[in-house]
Structure formats: C-alpha cells, structure tokens
C-alpha cells in the first residue's frame, strides 16, 4: 500500500492553527492589545474599520522590536516570553505560546511598523497569507503598530460566518473592557470608522470603571479589600440598589488576567 501520510505546507498548517486562535475580529484585538501591554506600553490606541473586518490597528509606545525579532515574530512558536519548560510555572506576561501573530498573518494582510528607543530607524514588514512580501527600514515612532486588514480574506467560508458589524463590534468592545479595566495605569483609546468611542486616560481603578460604564457608577461603587495569608482580594462591587440579574457587568481578574469561573462568579453573587 502506498504511503498516505504527508507533512502539510506551512501556509496550510498556519491556516488550520489560526482557526484555534482567531475565531473573530475580537480575537485579534485581544492578542494585539495583550502584546502591547507585555511591551511595557503607557499608551495604546485601537483603530477599527467595519468592526474589524476591514481593519484592526493597534499602536503602542512600548519597547518595540529589533529587525530580527520583527521577522521572527510571525513564525509559529516564536516567543520572547519563555525559554524552557520551567518558565511555564512562573509566567507573568499575557501571552507566551508564540502562536497568535503567525495565526493572524496566515489569514489576513498584516503590516508591522516597529522601532526600539535607541534605534535611529525602524522596520516595516508586510505579510499576507503567511508570506512575507516586503521588509524595509523606515522612519517610524518608538513602539509598534500592527495593522491587520481583510481578516479571513483567504478563507471565504470563515468570513461568511462572521456576524453583523454591530455584533462583532460588541465582542471587540467586550475584549477592550477586559484589558482596559485592570490596566488602569495605561492610557487606552478606541476609534471606529473615524469616530472616537473611548478615551481612557491613566487613572485609578475606580475612575477607570466610571470612565467605561458612566458617571452614574461613581456613587454606586463600594470598595472591597481583603488580605489573608493565602490570597489578596481587592476591587469594587455595586450597591444593592444597582444590582442586576445578569452577570454581564461582572469582571473578575486573577493576577491581572480576566477569568471566567463559575465558582468565583457564584461566590461574588453570594456576597
């Protein structure tokens, strides 16, 4: 019997892997925002067109990348976050697997602009369908700009199953909240189709919550602060008169990461 097992080409393998990492525009937003936070940014700007279907751009003022790192970041399992298996038990960054950028580049047109603080010039890389189309030295700001255009352009069946623009925008804003709430020491802005949706300057946690959910929350919030030998709990809950039946506005974070956990949600509900 003839041999039937074969290695898939990298571009096909990347497209398959992308399906596990990138389900919709909001997935791209999450990965890019978390990368900007890991880069030590103090300002992060998110720009969208057509709810991310046409453009998702994240601009930060972080540490940037060298030319070599800029090229490597689009390879699968290329990461600066871990170097050995032992590092998995002491991760303090948002990402670590090194799959996100390779997955995004496999299913979109991507432009990367980046420059490190000490460098005179930066690097521009253009990728489409995992294929690097251009690499050049350019003048650019310190930090990194990722532009992701025409998501799922080469997987029309996947693009077909994206929801309407309002639904996809709702998912993006939810991911934006999950990152912006806990990282109140960073200035975030969100623009959609030329409109300014959010400007969140650096602030305290309470002010960040009020900036996102509205001034009416200012008088409804009660601070929670509990320290034990095992755990430290801090944050804000709403007064009883502001309580809602749904968990839509309940955000729980463990080590500055948003989490969904039925036990934790239930515990908060019983307070």
| Secondary structure letter of residue 144 according to DSSP | E
From the number of C-beta atoms within 10 Å of its C-beta (0-12, 13-18, 19+), residue 3 rates as exposed
Per-residue pLDDT, 158: 86
Integer Cα distance of 81 and 92 in angstroms: 9
CA atoms within 13 A on the CB side of 72: 10
* Domain positions in the chain: 10-200, 220-269
Q: What are the two backbone dihedrals, phi and then psi, of residue 187, each rounded to the nearest 5 degrees?
A: -85, 125
**CB-based burial, 82-107: b 16+ in 10 Å, e otherwise:** beeeeeeeeeeebbeebbbbbbbbbb
The CATH number of 10-200, from 3.30.565.10, 2.30.31.70, 2.40.50.90, 3.40.50.1820, is: 3.30.565.10
Per-residue pLDDT, 217: 87
pTM of the predicted structure, to 2 decimals: 0.86
Alpha-carbon Rg for the chain, nearest whole angstrom, is 20
Per-residue pLDDT, 16: 57
List, for the chain, all residue ranges whose pLDDT scores fall below the cut of 70. Answer: 1-21, 77-98, 245-248, 269-271
End-to-end CA distance of the chain: 66
From the number of C-beta atoms within 10 Å of its C-beta (0-12, 13-18, 19+), residue 111 rates as middle
Q: Are 138 and 113 in contact (CB under 8 A)?
A: yes
Per-residue pLDDT, 82: 44
**Which alpha helices (H) appear in 79-235, and where do they start and end?**
100-106, 156-160, 165-180, 205-213
Per-residue pLDDT, 10: 64
Per-residue pLDDT, 265: 77
Nearest of 223, 236, 238, 231 to residue 255 by alpha carbon:
231
Per-residue pLDDT, 269: 67
Per-residue pLDDT, 77: 63
Per-residue pLDDT, 85: 54
The β-bridge relationship of strands 43-49 and 187-192 is parallel
């Amino acid at each position: 019997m003839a041999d039937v097992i074969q290695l898939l080409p990298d571009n096909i393998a990347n497209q398959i892997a992308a399906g596990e990492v990138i389900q919709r525009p909001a997935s791209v937003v999450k990965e890019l925002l978390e990368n900007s936070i890991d880069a030590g940014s103090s300002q992060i700007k998110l720009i969208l067109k057509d709810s991310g279907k046409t453009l998702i751009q994240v601009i930060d003022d972080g540490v940037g990348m060298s030319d070599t790192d800029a090229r490597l970041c689009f390879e699968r399992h290329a990461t600066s976050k871990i170097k050995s298996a032992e590092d998995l038990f002491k991760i303090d960054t948002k990402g670590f697997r090194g799959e996100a950028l390779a997955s995004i580049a496999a299913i979109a047109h991507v432009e990367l602009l980046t420059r490190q603080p000490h460098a005179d010039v930066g690097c521009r890389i253009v990728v489409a369908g995992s294929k690097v189309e251009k690499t050049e030295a350019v003048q650019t700001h310190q930090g990194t700009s990722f532009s992701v255009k025409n998501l799922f352009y080469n997987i029309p069946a996947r693009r077909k199953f994206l929801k309407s623009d309002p639904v996809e925008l709702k998912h993006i804003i939810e991911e934006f909240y999950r990152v912006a709430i806990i990282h109140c020491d960073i200035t975030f802005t969100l623009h959609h189709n030329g409109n300014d949706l959010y400007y969140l300057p650096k602030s305290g946690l309470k002010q960040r919550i009020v900036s996102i959910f509205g001034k009416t929350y200012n008088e409804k919030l009660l601070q929670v602060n509990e320290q034990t030998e095992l755990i430290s709990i801090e944050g804000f809950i709403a007064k009883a008169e502001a309580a809602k039946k749904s968990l839509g506005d309940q955000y729980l974070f463990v080590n500055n990461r948003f989490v969904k956990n039925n036990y934790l949600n239930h515990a908060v509900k019983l307070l």
